[in-house]
Amino acid sequence: MVSPRPCITKGNGVTAIAEPTDDALVREIACVLREWARLWKKLYVERETYRFTTVAKVMHELLNGRRALLAGTLTQDQTRALRLKLVAKLDWGNRQASTMDFRESTPHTIQYVPHVDAY
């Protein structure tokens, strides 16, 4: 589902730039989730089961936290605690990404995985 978000328009005509007014943490989580999705798929292809499930759990927590921030139904204390928790998850994930070798796959590094039919 696509929903319009509030934004500030800078410039006129074809040079106009729409800058979102959403929270910076909400935007950062969205960018990180897009980036981690590629890395998560790579872990799946490489059959890194433990890391795959761990990253999936953190991604779900970030997604749910982002959803809660966007809903705007939390108290100030709850929002502050959630923001701290989400920043800690982002830091953890970025540390994990820097320690793992997440170079993009090239044709020379991709391995053939045979598919077994159940028929």
Percentage of residues of the chain with pLDDT beyond 70: 82
- pLDDT band, very low/low/confident/very high, at 53 (cuts 50, 70, 90): very high
Please state the pTM of the whole predicted model. 0.68
Average pLDDT over residues 56-74: 93
What pLDDT score was predicted for residue 82? 95
Catalogue all structural domains in the chain, each as residue range(s) with its CATH number.
Answer: 18-99 (1.20.1270.350)
Question: Which residue type occupies 90?
Answer: L
SS in 3 state form for the chain? CCCCCCEEEECCHHHCEEEECCCHHHHHHHHHHHHHHHHHHHHHHCCCHHHHHHHHHHHHHHHHHHHHHHHCCCCHHHHHHHHHHHHHHHHHHHHHHHHCCCCCCCCCCCCCCCCCCCC
For the segment 94-118, the average pLDDT, to the nearest whole number, is 54
